[in-house]
A and B are shown apart, each in its own frame.
Chain A
Amino acid sequence: MLHVADLSVAYGAISALAGISFTIESGAIVTLIGGNGAGKTTTLRTLSGLLRPSTGKITFLGEEITATQPHQIVARGLSHVPEGRMIFANLTVEENLAMGAYLQTDATLNAKNRAYVFSIFPRLQERLQQTAGTLSGGEQQMLAIGRALMSNPKFLMLDEPSLGIAPRLITTIFEKIVEINRERGITILLVEQNAHLALEVSRYAYVLETGRIVMQGPSHQLRHDPLLKATYLGG
């Protein structure tokens, strides 16, 4: 579904990604793990078009999107839930969801997606008229995911969905991520610092270190890898 070949990204003179390649199969949950500054967020931002790579090629659903504008990438079915959630804090929950469906003109499809979002996150329906900035961290994350689902994506990228939210909500949100993948058949690329959690829900994993992929494999195998255990899983 998504194919990345030899992707390099630099911020000025500082290289953030040094030629990474990977492939994501349709229907999978794939995770990208690694420490701070490994290049995880840079990878997602480049895939969604916010950053331009210096070399490399990104192919999505058989078409090249390396130089495509972010709004056109969303239109092709690739949706990005960014780090720090980036909800529209002064807009209501309702307006945030409407913005998610910005490119969707099919009213019945919108109604269906909306109903689905409310079925997995009933909290959002209760707070529909509330200003999004007043939601708790966990609720904002639900809204960010709900907003992305409104664009009717085929492929969903989630950047650190566990960041800064209450532990009991983290479990809920990860359950929902698995549910979204299973019930809607949406392929998921999950970026996480919490490697335990990420390896638990994903099928395949890539480990990123200072801009390179240093390890990859089925998640259940990586969970028992001694090297990975020492570095990311806390021994």
Chain B
Amino acid sequence: MSEFLQQLLNGLSLGAIYALIALGYTMVYGVLRFINFAHSDVFMVGAYLGYYLGKLVPPGTLWGGLFVLFAAMIGCAGLGMLIERLAYRPLRGAATLNVLITAIGVSLLLEYSGQRFFGAAPRVFPPIFPERNFQLGALIISTNQLVVIGVAVLLMLGLQFIVYRTKIGTAMRAVSQNPKAAQLVGVNNDVVISFTFGLGSALAAAGGILYALNYPSIDPLMGVMPGLKAFVAAVLGGIGNIPGAALGGLILGTVETFIGGSQWSTYKDAIAFAILIIILLFRPAGLLGRFTAEKV
């Protein structure tokens, strides 16, 4: 029983990270109907920003950790908006395939620029948050897990607030449903799309830092696998659906951790993708997604 709880805790903290990344995929898909493959590399840049900023603050303090986290989020929000402005905006109105290929190009550009500027060798991520383990019965809870779950929950609540309670959030949903109608009520779609990229990229940066706290070896290709998993999570929950992305991330992280702790541990990635295939066979729109027939 205690092993079950321990694995559940580990799984939820990994799932929370997947969820943070998945939210960016799903939000961008919502407003532009394409998969931003460069998203997983923004996640990597977030981890590197954390690495460099982490050297500026005293290690192992809560305020220092939070400072690094927020600064990296702001930095990546800027990067995401820049990518959208330079790479995707000129392709507005072009075929989706062109945008997809561009996204792969941006992804490769970031990965190999990363190797050029950060070096290809893995680096050790500094312990920016205080590190301690608590014993709760047979359960061992690390401060990193608390930070991961706490930060992820707060960010998701914040996102929920922005998307459902603010004017720009309502505009995001409006653009996602009908970009033309949004323009006709006076929304500048470019501003909303830019904001969406900023928001998604900030969450990816937070994901990058939280991931690096748990797996403290970072390299310029570190985004590939978690990015793919988060993409799976977004599709699993229903691409374009925000609560779906969060749910998909949590499910995937938990399942992966449980399988990782079992005798089939070497198959954990294969099983994660098998789950995707099975769910899509029965619910092609994802768990919370639904096909919307346009009403004329």
Chain A residues at the B interface, C-beta cutoff of 8 Å: 48-50, 69-71, 74-75, 79-80, 82, 84, 86-91, 95, 98-100, 102-103, 133, 140, 147-148, 151, 164
Give chain A residues whose Cβ lies under 8 Å from the Cβ of B178: 86, 88
Closest to A81 in B: B184
* A84/B174 in contact, CB under 8 A: no
The answer to whether B90 has its CB under 8 Å from any CB of chain A is no
* A88/B184 in contact, CB under 8 A: no
Chain B residues at the A interface, C-beta cutoff of 8 Å: 167, 170-171, 173-174, 177-178, 180-189, 292, 295-296
Closest to B290 in A: A90
Closest to B178 in A: A86
Give chain A residues whose Cβ lies under 8 Å from the Cβ of B292: 89-90
* A74/B173 in contact, CB under 8 A: no
Among the listed B170, B186, B189, which residue makes an inter-chain contact with A103, where contact means beta carbons less than 8 Å apart? B186
Among the listed A71, A140, A164, which residue makes an inter-chain contact with B187, where contact means beta carbons less than 8 Å apart? A71
Give chain B residues whose Cβ lies under 8 Å from the Cβ of A151: 185-186
Give chain A residues whose Cβ lies under 8 Å from the Cβ of B180: 50, 82, 86
CB distance from A159 to the nearest CB of B (A): 11
Query: A91 to B167, alpha carbons, bound, how many Å?
Result: 13
Among the listed A49, A90, A100, A164, which residue makes an inter-chain contact with B185, where contact means beta carbons less than 8 Å apart? A100
Give chain A residues whose Cβ lies under 8 Å from the Cβ of B181: 82, 86-88
Closest to B164 in A: A95
In the complex, the 9 A-B pairs of residues with the closest C-beta atoms, listed nearest first: A86-B181, A74-B186, A103-B186, A70-B183, A102-B186, A71-B188, A71-B186, A84-B296, A88-B174
* A91/B188 in contact, CB under 8 A: no
Query: A99 to B189, alpha carbons, bound, how many Å?
Result: 13
Closest to A45 in B: B180
Closest to A144 in B: B181
Query: A140 to B170, alpha carbons, bound, how many Å?
Result: 19
CB distance from B296 to the nearest CB of A (A): 5
* B185/A147 in contact, CB under 8 A: yes
* A99/B183 in contact, CB under 8 A: no
Closest to A133 in B: B295
Apart from the given pairs A70-B183, A80-B184, 16 other A-B contacts in the complex at a CB distance below 8 Å = A71-B183, A71-B187, A71-B189, A82-B180, A82-B181, A86-B184, A88-B174, A88-B178, A89-B177, A90-B292, A95-B173, A99-B170, A100-B185, A102-B167, A140-B295, A151-B186
* B184/A50 in contact, CB under 8 A: yes
Give chain B residues whose Cβ lies under 8 Å from the Cβ of A69: 188
CB distance from A124 to the nearest CB of B (A): 16
CB distance from A79 to the nearest CB of B (A): 8
Give chain A residues whose Cβ lies under 8 Å from the Cβ of B184: 48, 50, 70, 74, 79-80, 82, 86
CB distance from B167 to the nearest CB of A (A): 7
Closest to B191 in A: A71
Give chain B residues whose Cβ lies under 8 Å from the Cβ of A98: 167, 170
* B185/A91 in contact, CB under 8 A: no
CB distance from B137 to the nearest CB of A (A): 45
* B188/A99 in contact, CB under 8 A: no
Query: A88 to B296, alpha carbons, bound, how many Å?
Result: 12
* A74/B174 in contact, CB under 8 A: no
8 A-B contacts (beta carbon < 8 Å): A48-B184, A50-B180, A50-B184, A70-B184, A71-B183, A99-B171, A99-B187, A140-B295
* A95/B170 in contact, CB under 8 A: yes
Q: Check A91/B177 contact, CB under 8 A, given A98-B170, A99-B171, A102-B187.
A: yes
* A74/B185 in contact, CB under 8 A: yes
Give chain A residues whose Cβ lies under 8 Å from the Cβ of B167: 98, 102
CB distance from A107 to the nearest CB of B (A): 13
